[in-house]
Structure 1
Amino acid sequence: MTGQVTTVDGRVAGRRGQATRQKLLDCLGKMLGSSPYRDVRVIDVARKAGTSPATFYQYFPDVEAAVLEIAEVTVREGASLNELVAGRAWAGKAGRQTAEDLVEGFLAFWRKHDAILRVIDLGAAEGDRRFVRIRTRVQGALVKPLADAIEAQRARGRAAGEEPAAAAVAGSLVTMLAAVSSQPKSLQSLGAKQTDLKPALVQLVHLGVTGRKPAK
Structure 2
Amino acid sequence: MAGAASSAAAAPRAADGRVPGRRGLATRARLLDCAAAMLETTPYRELTVTDVAREAGTSPATFYQYFVDMETAMLALAEQVADQGSHLSDLVGARPWRGAAGWHSAESLVDGFLTFWQAHQPVLRVVDLLTEEGDQRFRRARVRMLNAITRALAGAVEEAQTRAGRSAEVEPMAMAGALVSMLAHVAAHQPGFEAWEIHVADLRQAMIRLVFWGVTGPKVPRVI
User: How does 1:173-212 map onto structure 2 within 5 Å?
Assistant: 173-212=179-218
The counterpart of 2:121, out of the listed 96, 108, 114, is 114
Q: What is the Cα-based RMSD across aligned positions, in Å?
A: 1.8
Unaligned runs of 5+ in 2: 1-6
1:213 CA drift (Å): 3.7
1:163 CA drift (Å): 2.3
The counterpart of 1:145, out of the listed 131, 137, 152, is 152
1:135 CA drift (Å): 1.2
1:39 CA drift (Å): 1.1
Aligned positions, number: 214
C-alpha distance in structure 2 between counterparts of 1:93 and 1:12, whole Å:
50
The question of 1:8 aligning with 2:15 is answered yes
Partner of 1:130: 137
1:46 CA drift (Å): 0.4
C-alpha distance in structure 2 between counterparts of 1:131 and 1:121, whole Å:
8
Partner of 2:57: 50
Q: What is the TM-score when the length of structure 2 is the normalising length?
A: 0.90
1:159 CA drift (Å): 5.3
Q: Which amino acid aligns with 2:131?
A: A
Q: Deviations over 1:160-186 (max 9, x none)?
A: 9x9231111111111111111111121
Unaligned runs of 5+ in 1: none
Partner of 1:214: 220
Partner of 1:103: 110
C-alpha distance in structure 2 between counterparts of 1:96 and 1:7, whole Å:
47
* TM-aligned CA distance change 1:131 to 1:6, over 3 Å: closer
Q: Which runs of 4+ in 1 moved over 4 A?
A: 2-5
Identity of aligned residues (%): 47
Partner of 2:169: 163
Partner of 1:21: 28
